Amino acid sequence: MKVFQSLNCVVCKLPFARKANEARSPRPLDCGSAMCHECFEKERRLAKEKREHQCVRKQCFNNANFAFYLIDVLSQEDSLTLSPLGDGYLLVKKLTLKEENSKSISTFGEAKKTLEKCAKLREDFETISEKLMPHLRRYETKVKTLTERIDKDDYQGLKDGFEE
């Protein structure tokens, strides 16, 4: 029987836990890989060049959630069993996905495309946010100044505060 390495952490190579909030629970990376919670937390604190996981993406450690899609698969204990050597999971019976989990995405390819679209949206959002931050800070300063003037009952020049 073949051990499913894809159900192991890409860093420490140990099998994932079957539930969330454990040291070996799977965490998704933005590149599509997954690593255990413990390795995820260690790797994300390191400088990119010191990480064992060398990803082509700028940011690979943005997702704060657990990989519940993997946890759903791993939770099927009657289908997957830990190998005698403890080096991964063996398929002992056909996996069955719950219908509600598979309604919106029918293939792995679709899931990958959806993940890529989400990653692109996040990158676009980050780029736009970086461009808007100086403007938001400028307006925050203006609002703070105007608020202070109002608090001091100093209404002179308030009209000028609203103009560009």
d(CA 7, CA 71): 10
Q: What is the pTM of this model?
A: 0.57
User: Residue 114's pLDDT band (boundaries 50, 70, 90)?
Assistant: confident
Q: What percent of the chain has pLDDT over 70?
A: 85
The per-residue pLDDT for 129 is 75
> Across-strand partners of 81?
90
Output the average pLDDT for the chain.
80
Q: What percent of the chain has pLDDT over 90?
A: 16
Tell me the two tokens of residue 117. 């679209």
Cα–Cα distance for residue pair 97/92, rounded to 1 Å: 15
- pLDDT over 60 at 42, yes or no: yes
The tens digit of pLDDT for each residue in 71-104 reads 888 888 888 888 888 888 888 888 776 555 445 5
Residue 143's pLDDT band, with cuts at 50, 70 and 90, is confident
* DSSP codes of every residue in the chain: --EEGGGB-TTT-PBPPSSSSSTT-EEE-TTS-EEEHHHHHHHHHS-GGG-SS--SSS------S--HHHHHHHT-TTTEEE-TTSSSEEE-S-----HHHHSS--SHHHHHHHHHHHHHHHHHHHHHHHHHHHHHHHHHHHHHHHHHHHHTT--TTHHHHT--
Q: Residue 45 pLDDT more than 80?
A: yes
Rounded Cα distance between 26 and 35, Å, is: 5
